[in-house]
Chains A and B, each alone.
Chain A
Amino acid sequence: MERLSAAVKKEFQQFRRDRLLIALILWTYTIEVVLCTIALSFDVTDLRIAVYDGEGSQASRRLVERFTASEYFSKALYIHGPGEIDRLLDGGQADMGIIIPPDFSKIMEQGRQADVQFIFGNTNPNTVNAAMGYSRHIITRFSYDTVAERLARLGYKLPQGIEPRIRVWFNPGLEFRYFMVISMIVLAGIIVGMIHPAATLVRELETGTVEQLMVTPLKRHEIIIAKLLPTITIAMLALFPSLAIAKIFGVPIKGSIPLFFLASAIFLLTSMGIGAFIATFARNLQQALLISFFILFPLMFLSGTIVPVESMPAALQYVSYASPVRYYMEISLGIFLKGVGLNILWPKFLFLLIFGALILLLSLRRLKLYG
């Protein structure tokens, strides 16, 4: 025990000396979380429309107003010839163009169908999809109202159809920031948890000081524990400001916070295990860091932290079952947004535990080669 505490003390001292490092770890857990949460979302809003209104009638203006009144579109840019749309879309000054034909209201008066052209000129397929969806909705609504008006003039009442009553669960305001905060905390965990231990361990391996450690009476697991403690301590401490940030952003914390800390501790140990495992394969620091990236990127992007796992091709969805990040993410979303407990989350915990134990054991074994 004394041995261990001395080793731990040494590691903490070494860690404390590197101020910039501590600052950067805190940065990923706090400022990066704030920046990303404020800035990033897949929501499509403020679409810029270029309108060529070939008729300029009351009806056509009413149609355009339907668009500009919606929160999804910003002010319409009126243009004088349909050709101008090309220029605006090419230059990226508009996201879509609407071309209203010159006989728009006349055709509608005759009970025929007026063709309104929509040109979607954003290169982002997600934005285009959303823009198309919004436009269809607005047009459907416009058509319905026009028909109802005309039927009323004929003395009919329009039958009521089916009204969807949509309720969004777990995140009724559809706030992307809830998801983003949690995702950034999870990502900070894997980045800090993996890279820092990999780097410190390999530094000892590189400078040969690990041999000195090996000939001390310290046991291998004691060395590992001493090496891992500073990282897990700072990462766990950094969770507190992160949680405060989550609170400020209004993220509901419906479930148990201790359970979240438990999950975080297991996850950090797992990440550090991966980091240590990588370190044993690297000859120098640069190698360790670069190998980390090979593992870090797939873990980061296949685990439902940026885009949902359900949107990935089936094969990759199966691959993602092997990622501890996926389980930590699902546990965190479950605890924060859904308020579920161990009774539902236990399989995910179990997997994290098994994965963490395996990877730590493996790196211990690999470390034996040095001793």
Chain B
Amino acid sequence: MILPALIKKEVREIARDPVTLATGAFLPLIMLFLFGYAISLDVKDVSLAVYDGDRTQESVRFIEAFTSGRYFTLRYYLDSPQEADDVLLRDGAEMVLAIPPNFARDLRAMQGTSVQLLIDGTFTATALVISDYASTIISAYSAEFLGRFLREKGIAMEAPVKVLPRIWYNPALSSVNYIVPGLFAVLLMALPPMLTALAIVREKERGTIEQIYVSPVRPAVFIFGKIIPYGIIAFVDMLIILTAGTVWFRVPFKGGLVILVATSVLYVFATVAIGLLVSTLVRTQVAAVLLSLVVTLMPSFLFSGFLFPIGSMPYVMQLYTYIFPARYFTQISRGVYLKGIGMEYLWGNILLLLVYGGVMFVLASLRFKKKVA
């Protein structure tokens, strides 16, 4: 049999190269820890600058409503409203709260008052959350004031509607729970296709591929000889992350292990097929890496729903995400991992993966055969 021999040769070549081996084993772990700890949009300890133009008991209480919670930390106490510019420009404060003179008087006189919030909008997601926190604190303070007023009038009245929130799937609202299952989709698309493409293009660059062409090895066998070792590396990576994610980050695994593993094999087949196709398009290793970056690595991060929700994209871009199989697998893996759902919900995405892998593989083999002939 030629195939086992080819695989053995490839495995030897990988094993001889400590960097490739380390990449296979450690890069996924580094990424897991990197994303597990660093990727979060949690907003806390917002550095707050306050200008208090009123300086009354009421205004001090109002400021305390901000600083006593866990979201804001008072960093600057400004002496004039003009200083607001400076603290925002120097990245000193993320929000400036300015309380007008007569704040307490206007409030007591029932005519209402307003406070100014200046928020650094460079990162809009954070700015939105900060403005949300601040408005919530202010409405709570207003409500409390309203309650005081109603009690004075002797009217007993509760807020008419109460929100009973329940959070499913990820009740701790932890970013890690969301990141880890998504990371499978990213890693299995980021590295294996690139390594496969490199392995083939390297032979092209060195000219050793000519030897393959003239040998009795059939193209399909040659291709499988390249795919299988890298597929196995990818698979081991996935097991490493699955273990580390569950043991270290304690991400609850709700669904079936079998279905996750089975679909990931399908997925790896599809991604590696992309790597194959890339290898037939380029001549040099540098180009292979850059092309893989553009068609596999970047999309797996950006257009898979891993970080940026697909639902918020414009419709055309939502269609664009279908070009990359990462989106199918992100949904499968999050569904299995966090929701514990099975085939009855997953079959659509699984079917898409199957078709995708098949088409890519046929395309790559066709192009490869043309070269040989």
Contacts and interface: CB of A to CB of B under 8 A. Distances in A.
B38 A316 contact: yes
Contacts of B153: 156
Nearest to B90: A344
B17 A287 contact: yes
Contacts of B338: 123
Contacts of A338: 89, 122
Contacts of A117: 164, 166
A222 interface: no
B290 A195 contact: yes
A1 B115 CA distance: 65
A338 to B, nearest CB: 6
A150 interface: yes
B160 A147 contact: yes
A258 interface: no
Contact of A137 (B43, B113, B135, B141): B135
B161 A165 contact: no
B345 to A, nearest CB: 5
Contact of A136 (B141, B163, B307): B163
A129 interface: yes
Interface in B157-215: 157-170, 173-175, 177-178, 181, 198, 202
Contacts of B302: 36, 39-40
Given A108-B160, A294-B27, A333-B122, A287 B19 contact: yes
Interface residues of A, number: 118
Interface in B95-130: 107, 110-129
| Residue with the greatest number of chain B CB neighbours at <10 A, chosen from A157, A167, A289 | A289
Contacts of A20: 282-283, 287, 291
Given A133-B136, A159-B110, A174-B127, A311 B17 contact: no
B155 A123 contact: no
A39 B320 contact: yes
B321 to A, nearest CB: 8
A203 B201 CA distance: 14
A168 B41 contact: no
A139 B126 contact: no
Interface stretch (B142-150, B220-228, B232-240, B350-358): B142-150
B27 A293 contact: yes
Interface string A276-303: 0000001111110111011001100110
Given A90-B341, A139-B163, A38 B314 contact: yes
B30 A298 contact: yes
A285 B114 contact: no
B287 A21 contact: yes
A129 B22 CA distance: 38
A103 interface: no
Contacts of A91: 341, 345
B313 interface: yes
A369 interface: no
B257 interface: no
Interface in B282-326: 282-287, 289-291, 293-294, 298, 302-303, 307-309, 311-314, 317, 320-321
Most buried by A among B35, B43, B166, B177: B166
Contacts of A83: none
A271 interface: no
Nearest to A289: B289
A41 B27 contact: no
A301 B174 CA distance: 18
A40 B317 CA distance: 9
A167 B281 CA distance: 51
B94 interface: yes
Contacts of B90: 344
Nearest to B62: A162
B6 to A, nearest CB: 18
Nearest to A336: B122
Contact of A307 (B41, B88, B107, B286): B41
Contact of A161 (B27, B112, B339): B112
Interface string A12-40: 00000010110011011000100110111
Contacts of A154: 155
A143 B289 CA distance: 58
Given A121-B168, A162-B107, A163-B112, 11 more contacts: A42-B125, A142-B161, A161-B107, A162-B114, A162-B145, A163-B138, A169-B120, A179-B124, A199-B289, A282-B19, A333-B122
11 contacts: A39-B313, A39-B317, A42-B312, A112-B158, A135-B163, A169-B88, A169-B121, A179-B123, A287-B17, A293-B23, A313-B38
Which 5 A-B residue pairs are closest in the complex by CB-CB distance?
A: A160-B112, A161-B142, A171-B121, A39-B317, A42-B125
Interface of B: 17, 19-20, 22-23, 26-27, 30-31, 34-35, 37-43, 45, 62, 88-91, 94, 107, 110-129, 131-132, 134-136, 138-139, 141-143, 145-146, 149, 153, 155-170, 173-175, 177-178, 181, 198, 202, 282-287, 289-291, 293-294, 298, 302-303, 307-309, 311-314, 317, 320-321, 331, 334-335, 338-339, 341, 345
